[in-house]
A = this chain, B = another copy of it.
């Protein structure tokens, strides 16, 4: 998407052989790009979250392996580089998946052939992700278009957390339909939940919507219910970290509360995700999806820009009070209007998902 009128992806090959990225640790207060020239640069970028979001982490690891084989294309070098990259974010499923895709291509090749093949495969993984997100957006845009057809005014769409292009290579998942609607001239305005405790909405979603020129307003996570009660939300679209085969959706903590309010006020509530996010082995998502408990410091402390321009971290809770920080919650299928993937929109139910994706459902 665009930043100040210039189209960007979150990762790209540079003409000098390096790999360019946006330093996301500096967002939203500064927009800076970086060049990754070595395996260690790529591993470092993943480790300290200069890149974040499952798809982008996977593609960065793929490019990291390409940078590694350029320095050492031997079997030993390849395997050692893959291990280094896999250890940067050990719980990221997409990271392991992307490295595996790369190794399957590279292992059978002679060392001399590996560099070109590695860069080509990394570029292919990036392009595949862009295409997946573009399709999610096209299906979601059709939903927005239909609702817009009923009103002669700007459509208000609420989103939670950041499921935008900054987490992917381009387009994003939940935000892809919004970008496509906006680019097509449908008047949309986005309510951006700030998304405590890590503020991905206030920082990243607001930044990327603003940079592309999409009208939006940041709100406290507490405000969505009130806005829905008063007719100020036409539609909710959020991303998804894991979808159970029965349609229950794990996403950033607080999503469930917004889905309850949407149901209570007759507002459609959609999850947008790539097919790869569906876990066909899980039936009861509320019971079975494990929820990560993260460091309470994410809640008790906040980082922002002081008047001096310095980035400062401050404690906002009473000294000595403990904090708890469950990072995700699960929205039961009964609260979900539909699941948007690259293949289309399906009901959030075992039958609905199975009929749209029969080849996967059979393996459950």
Q: Which residues of A contact B (CB under 8 A)?
A: 27-29, 191-192, 194-197, 199, 202-204, 206-207, 209-210, 216-227, 229, 252-254, 256-258, 260-261, 264, 286, 291, 299-307, 311-326, 328-330
Contacts and interface: CB of A to CB of B under 8 A. Distances in A.
Counting chain B CB atoms within 10 Å of each CB, which of A219, A223, A260 scores highest? A223
Contact of A260 (B219, B257, B304, B323): B257
Q: Copy number in this complex?
A: 2
A304 B299 contact: no
Contacts of A256: 225-226, 229, 261
Contact of A257 (B204, B222, B329): B222
Nearest to A300: B218
Contacts of A317: 28, 194, 199, 202-203, 206, 218
Contact of A222 (B195, B303, B312): B195
Contacts of A329: 222-223, 225-226, 229
Nearest to A215: B322
Contacts of A322: 216-218
A interface SS class = mixed
Nearest to A328: B226
Contacts of A261: 256-257, 260
Contacts of A202: 300, 316-318, 321
20 contacts: A194-B316, A202-B321, A204-B318, A206-B318, A210-B318, A210-B321, A216-B322, A217-B321, A218-B299, A218-B323, A218-B324, A219-B324, A221-B221, A222-B329, A223-B253, A229-B330, A260-B260, A303-B316, A305-B319, A306-B313
Given A220-B254, A221-B222, A257-B261, A305 B315 contact: yes
B229 A286 contact: yes
Nearest to A304: B314
A144 to B, nearest CB: 21
Given A218-B321, A323-B218, A260 B225 contact: yes
Nearest to A307: B313
A220 B29 contact: no
A326 B224 CA distance: 10
Given A195-B222, A219-B323, 20 more contacts: A27-B318, A29-B315, A191-B324, A202-B316, A203-B318, A209-B321, A218-B323, A219-B299, A219-B324, A221-B221, A222-B254, A223-B254, A223-B324, A223-B326, A226-B256, A226-B326, A256-B261, A306-B314, A311-B314, A314-B314
